[in-house]
Amino acid sequence: MAKVNPGFLDKVKELGAFDISACYSCGNCTAICPLSTEEYSFPRMMIRYSMLGLEDKILSGPELWRCYYCGECTDTCPRQADPGGLMMALRRYTIRRYSLGKIADLFYNGTSAAVTWLVLTVAAIAGIAYFHNPNPDLTKVDPLSFITLDFLHYAGIVLGVVIAFFAIVQLAVMWRSLHKDGIQATLGEWLRSFWDILIREVFVQKTFDECADKNRYWAHLALLWGFLGLFLATILAFGIDFLISVNSGLKIVPHVIGIVSGLVLLYGSGYYLYRRYFIKDSYSKYSHHSDWVFVWLMFLAGLTGFLLDIFAWVNLPWPAYITFAVHLVIVFDLLLTAPFTKFAHAIYRPLALWMSETYSRKEKEQQAQA
Ligand code: SF4
Ligand code: SF4
């Protein structure tokens, strides 16, 4: 029998501005949703489960992660219950719920979030202030004369291990929630659907493209590719420094990738900031503070990465070094907290889609054989 959590809806309400008490179950939202299917039906079902406190039912299905918050259900709800807002709040709740040691709670309560971000930022600034070289190269821009390659190398390894540890453990928690007993897929079947989801739902985000608002789709894609591009540029730059030479002409490659990716990331994050500030439609009329922080950090990471490459290009050492320090602080905040903040949807959504795709294929195969 399904377990009931009587306080469930109150906890979810802390994370959104929806009003599903107004819902009279007409089903219009599910009918209008471009992403709801017969197999995975939402958001009305999620509303019923939320009202009944059936938290486990919500957490054990992929429906939450099949919603991209296009807002079409909210726009057409005759009772202004904001079902899209509920779906978004449920995803915030899920990120908290999967978090190891309830660390994510720190980022979803206003006061504790402000204190946590402040402590992390001060710690990052103190680290850079302590480890930087006060006499960097002023004849030409060389960020590694300001912060040494060894420091970045070891700090990067520690950061990577911490992030990977939390991400893997939390994904394992989600795996347990979504796991279906009785459906056995082979390794080859898991790998095939993994590859399909990676291309279709991560790199191309085809399902998101089915929402009517194409501007949000392109901006979301730009966020992903801009971030991946900057990440690649960073790895290439350090790889060249480490394995070839800090003066290698090959560094033009990460410079160009960095500038292009920085611009792409600025477009994506800038678009979402613009929507939240200036267009008060059903998608952007309410933003939780965790959304604001994530989008601002993305924007600032893109802006400082882009400016750093520009200052290096025109050879302005001090502006470049100061921008580099600010960029490192922002990237530290963004990456260290990734498993606990809105950023975590970048791993939870693909896992949910991957598992549901594998199970769905297997169930269809079993039905065809029966
Ligand atoms: S459209 Fe509105 S009233 Fe109708 S089921 Fe959905 S949330 Fe409830
Ligand atoms: S916000 Fe969009 S994708 Fe999500 S449930 Fe509503 S209509 Fe469907």
Whether residue 46 lies inside any domain: the answer is: yes
The answer to whether the CB of 106 is under 6 A from ligand 2 is: no
Q: Is the CB of 42 under 6 A from ligand 2?
A: yes
pLDDT digits (tens, 9 = 90+) for 240-270: 877 887 677 787 888 889 889 989 999 999 9
In-domain check, residue 86 = yes
Q: How confident is the model at residue 193 (pLDDT cuts 50, 70, 90)?
A: very high
Is residue 169 assigned to a domain? yes
* Rg of the chain on CA atoms, in Å: 22
Does residue 289 have a pLDDT over 80?
yes
Q: What is the pLDDT of residues 21-54, one digit of tens each?
A: 899 999 999 999 999 999 999 999 999 999 999 9
Is residue 155 in some structural domain?
yes
How much is the average pLDDT of 269-278? 93
pLDDT score recorded for residue 285 = 78
pLDDT given at position 47: 96
pLDDT at 20 over 70: yes
Q: Are residues 118 and 174 in the same domain?
A: yes
255 and 326 together in one domain:
yes
Q: Is residue 273 part of a domain?
A: yes
**Ligand 2 pocket residue status of 68, Cβ below 6 Å:** yes
Confidence category of residue 309, pLDDT binned at 50, 70, 90: confident
Q: Is the model's pLDDT at 281 over the cut of 90?
A: no
pLDDT for the residue numbered 16: 87
Average pLDDT over residues 163-192: 94
Task: Concatenate the DSSP letters of all residues of 255-315 into one string.
Answer: HHHHHHHHHHHHHHHHHHHHHHHH--STTTS---HHHHHHHHHHHHHHHHHHHHHHHHHTT
**CB burial of residue 270 (10 Å; 0-12, 13-18, 19+):** middle
Q: Are residues 262 and 210 in the same domain?
A: yes
Residues 6 or more apart whose Cβ sits within 8 Å of residue 224: 202, 203, 205, 268, 346
Distance of CA 174 to the CA centre of its chain: 16
Give the domain CATH number at 297: 1.20.950
Extract the tokens encoding 174: 């989600």
CATH classification of the domain holding 91:
1.10.1060.10
pLDDT, averaged across the chain: 92
For residues 47 and 165, is the Cβ–Cβ distance under 8 A?
no
Give the tens place of pLDDT for each residue, 211-243.
888 999 999 999 999 999 988 988 898 788 778
Residue closest via CA to ligand 1's atom 6 equals 29
Identify the nearest ligand to the CA of 81 by its number. Answer: 1
Ligand nearest to the CA of 76: 1
List pLDDT tens digits, range 62-100: 999 999 999 899 999 999 999 999 999 999 999 999 999
Q: Which domain holds residue 56?
A: 8-98
pLDDT digits (tens, 9 = 90+) for 109-142: 889 999 999 999 999 999 999 999 999 999 988 8
Q: Which of 362, 363, 357 is nearest to 193 (CA)?
A: 357
**pLDDT reported for residue 111:** 92
Res 1: pLDDT? 64
Distance 212 CA to ligand 1 centre (A): 20
What is the pLDDT, as a whole number, of residue 235?
Answer: 87
Quote the pLDDT of residue 283: 75
CB of 71 within 6 A of ligand 2: the answer is: yes
Query: Is residue 178 one of the residues assigned to a domain?
Result: yes
Last residue of a domain, one of 50, 75, 98: 98
Please report whether residue 3 resides in a domain. Answer: no
- Is the CB of 35 inside a 6 Å radius of any atom of ligand 2? yes
Site to probe by mutation for ligand 1, drawn from 20, 24, 72, 75 as the one with most ligand atoms within 8 Å of Cβ, is: 24
Say whether pLDDT at 60 is over 70. yes
**Of 63-72, 147-156, 287-296, 347-356, which gets the smallest average pLDDT?**
147-156
Residue 337 in domain: yes
Q: Of all atoms in ligand 1, which is nearest to the CA of residue 80?
A: 2
Query: pTM of the prediction?
Result: 0.92
